[in-house]
Each structure stands twice: as structure tokens, then as C-alpha cells.
Copies of this chain bind each other. A is one copy, B any other.
């Protein structure tokens, strides 16, 4: 029944953890502007000033949510491929498989990323940095793939990274909108097409992308 017990005093870190979870839900559902501090406070089972005791204002709250989720996600992927050197295709496939288990997290990023296009949005700079960072991570992975002959050397890593991120973002939107859309199956179809095409493994060999190795 999870009744609210007013005035119950919790240790700082535990309460902050509760708040982050509740805020993540709320912001995922209605975005930054559509969510009130009272919304979040009610979910936690605390008063609205009680909420502001832990995070000084609304902006600090949403930034804390985004950054905490980032850390968890990054840590997960680092652990999953520890000591390995996955191809972009494997890496993105794993990411998608992970995302499909966390629709709320995906929605948080889909909703707030679009909202943050406004330069006055509290997470504007955050998403500017986030996209550049992710593009870099994926581009580097593509370069490694090229060195192994998995892609033609003519492929532009930054460009392909943008395309792959775009594909994932767009599929996530449709998946959230109409869950029967099977985003990981569609991603895989695209990735296979990529690997089998003129810029992929087969094409790369044909075009000389793997000559260094042989």
C-alpha cells in the first residue's frame, strides 16, 4: 500500500535517491516545464519544501537526474564490454537491448532532449555536450572498426556516428509512441544492411579497407 508517513526522517543519501527516482519518472512523463515540484514531492511522499531541502531548485533537480542516469548507463556498458573491443554494431545492439528494458529512461532522454533545444532550457548545455560526447564515442569505435577492415576507409566516422545516433533516437521515439514498433529488430535490420553494403565488411574488403591487415 506504500502509505505516506508524514514527517518520517530518512538518511540523506537514501532520500536523495528516492527523489531522483521520482523526479526521473515525472520528467520522463511530462518534461521539465510540464512537471511541478509538487508532483515530484507527492511521488516521494514528502512536502514540496522538503524536496527543496535536498535540491535547491528545479534546475538542480533535473540536472542531477540526468547526470546520475548517465553514470549508471555508462557504468553498465563499460562493465558489459570490459576487456573486449566490440564493433559499433555489437555495441549499439547491446545498447538497444538495454534500452528496451528501460522505457522510462529512454523517454526521459527523448522528451528532455527535444525540450532542451531551447537555449533557455536548464538542460540545454547538458544535451549539447552529451550529443557531442556520444558522437565522439561512436566515431572512435567506427575508426577502430575501419582499422580492422569492418568498414571502408572512405566512410566518414563522425557522419556515420550521427546517422546511427539519429536512427536510434528516431526508433526510440516511435517505439515509445507505438510500442508494437520493434525498435531493436529495426535497428538490427539497418545495421545488417550497413555491414553488407558497399561501405560494410564485404565492401570494405573490396575497396581495400582491410588491405593493411593482409
Contacts and interface: CB of A to CB of B under 8 A. Distances in A.
A178 interface: yes
A114 to B, nearest CB: 4
Interface residues of A, number: 47
Interface in A117-138: 117-118, 120, 127-128, 131-132
| Copies of this chain present | 2
A97 interface: no
A128 B171 contact: no
A186 B163 CA distance: 7
Interface string A148-176: 00000000100110110111111101101
Interface of A: 29-34, 107, 110-111, 113-115, 117-118, 120, 127-128, 131-132, 156, 159-160, 162-163, 165-171, 173-174, 176-178, 181, 185-186, 189-190, 193-194, 196-199
